[in-house]
């Protein structure tokens, strides 16, 4: 499951250059029975299977020795919601050991070895692999050199609790829709002002919960207020 996302495009090139490194481990490596079983029936009955604690503990013990300072992340729908601010904090760490559950989840005692629990949303997937890949992609691209233009990540949606402004490219007119004149003006001051205003408008329209946390000037707050009131009319 991890081969495509981790070995192609931007993340793949970053690994080829040695900027980041990812290693995928099969939990069965840390089992000791003939069939390499990593799950079992839940105590108390009920449907589904539960991931056993022992393989996780042994895996983390070994991986911590090889990755000094790495923090252990358990991917779980019950974890702290993942966001841009969390990704930026994780990007500053020396390494991450990401645990992926499956089936009905993991034995409760696995939480004892996790430094943090993270959720990518209020829904349940068949396993923690896809959430782990989301986390890896979001965190890896924040490392210097992974994304060619560092400014791209600094102005991403959510970087300042604002959604990113609209983007346009050629042709200048498509299906009767024209690129805003300001973007063709060559006036960088006006372009930056327009982009900032569009970010505020878009955030106020689509994510009013974010706009209250953004660092805005008084005039920008007034712009956001007018947009919000218009949406409520």
Q: Which of 5, 131, 141, 196 is catalytic?
A: 141
Residues 94 and 195 reside in one and the same domain: no
For residue 148, being part of any structural domain is answered with no
Q: What is the pTM of this model?
A: 0.89
DSSP letter at 54 equals H
Pairing mode of beta strands 39-40, 50-51: antiparallel
What is the β-pairing status of strands 116-119 and 50-51?
unpaired
Q: Which of 140, 174, 208 is the last residue of a domain?
A: 140
Using one digit for the tens of pLDDT, what is the confidence trace for 32-55?
999 999 999 999 999 999 999 999
Specify the CATH number for the domain of residue 165: 1.10.1270.20
Question: What one-character-per-residue DSSP string does 17-64 give?
Answer: TTS-------GGGG--STT---EEPPTT--SS-EE-HHHHHHHHHHHH
Which candidate in 107, 156, 160, 220 is catalytic?
156
Q: Is residue 75 part of a domain?
A: yes
CA 210 to chain centre: 17
Q: Find the domain containing 31 and state its range.
A: 3-140
Residue found by looking up tokens 């959510």 in the block = 158
Looking at 58, 104, 137, 164, which residue is catalytic? 104
190/112 Cα distance (integer angstroms): 53
Residues 135 and 159 in one domain: no
One DSSP character per residue, 149-196 reads -HHHHHTSTTTTSSPPPP---S-SEETTEEPPGGGGS--HHHHHHHHH
The H-or-E segment that residue 56 falls in is helix 53-66
Cα 210 from Cα 58, distance rounded (Å): 41
Shared domain for 55 and 117, answered yes or no, is yes
The CATH code of the domain that includes 10 is 3.40.1280.10
Residue 149, pLDDT score: 73
The answer to whether 70 and 95 are in contact (CB under 8 A) is: yes
In the residue annotation, 156 being an active-site residue is answered as: yes
pLDDT of residue 158: 79
The H or E element containing residue 226 is helix 218-232
- Per-residue pLDDT of the chain in tens (233 residues, 90 and over written 9): 999 999 999 999 999 999 999 999 999 999 999 999 999 999 999 999 999 999 999 999 999 999 999 999 999 999 999 999 999 999 999 999 999 999 899 999 999 999 999 999 999 999 999 999 999 999 999 999 999 876 567 667 777 899 999 999 999 999 999 999 999 999 999 999 999 999 999 999 999 999 999 999 999 999 999 999 998 87
Q: Based on the domain organization, do 105 and 166 belong to the same domain?
A: no
Number of structural domains in the chain: 2
- State the catalytic residue, choosing from 77, 88, 137, 195: 77
| Residues forming a β-bridge with 100 | 75
The confidence score (pLDDT) of residue 151 equals 58
Known catalytic membership, residue 104: yes
């Amino acid at each position: 499951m991890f081969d495509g996302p981790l070995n192609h495009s931007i993340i793949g090139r970053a690994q080829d250059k040695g900027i980041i490194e990812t290693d995928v481990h099969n939990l069965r490596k840390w089992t000791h029975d003939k069939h390499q079983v990593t799950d079992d029936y839940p105590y108390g009955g009920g449907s589904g299977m539960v991931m056993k604690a022992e393989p996780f503990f042994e895996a983390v013990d070994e991986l911590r020795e090889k990755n000094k300072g790495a923090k252990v992340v358990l991917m779980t729908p019950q974890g702290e919601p993942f966001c841009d601010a969390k990704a930026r904090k994780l990007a500053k760490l020396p390494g991450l050991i990401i645990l992926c559950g499956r089936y009905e989840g993991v034995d409760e005692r696995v939480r004892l070895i996790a430094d943090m629990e993270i959720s990518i949303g209020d829904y349940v997937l068949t396993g923690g692999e896809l959430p782990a890949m989301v986390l890896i992609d979001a965190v890896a691209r924040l490392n210097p050199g992974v994304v060619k233009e560092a400014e791209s990540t600094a102005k991403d949606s959510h970087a300042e609790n604002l959604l990113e402004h609209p983007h346009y490219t050629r042709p200048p007119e498509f299906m009767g829709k024209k690129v805003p004149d300001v973007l063709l003006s060559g006036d960088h001051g006006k372009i930056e002002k327009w982009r900032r205003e569009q970010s505020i408008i878009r955030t106020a329209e689509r994510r009013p919960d974010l706009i209250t946390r953004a660092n805005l000037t008084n005039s920008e707050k007034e712009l956001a207020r007018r947009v919000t009131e218009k949406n409520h009319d």
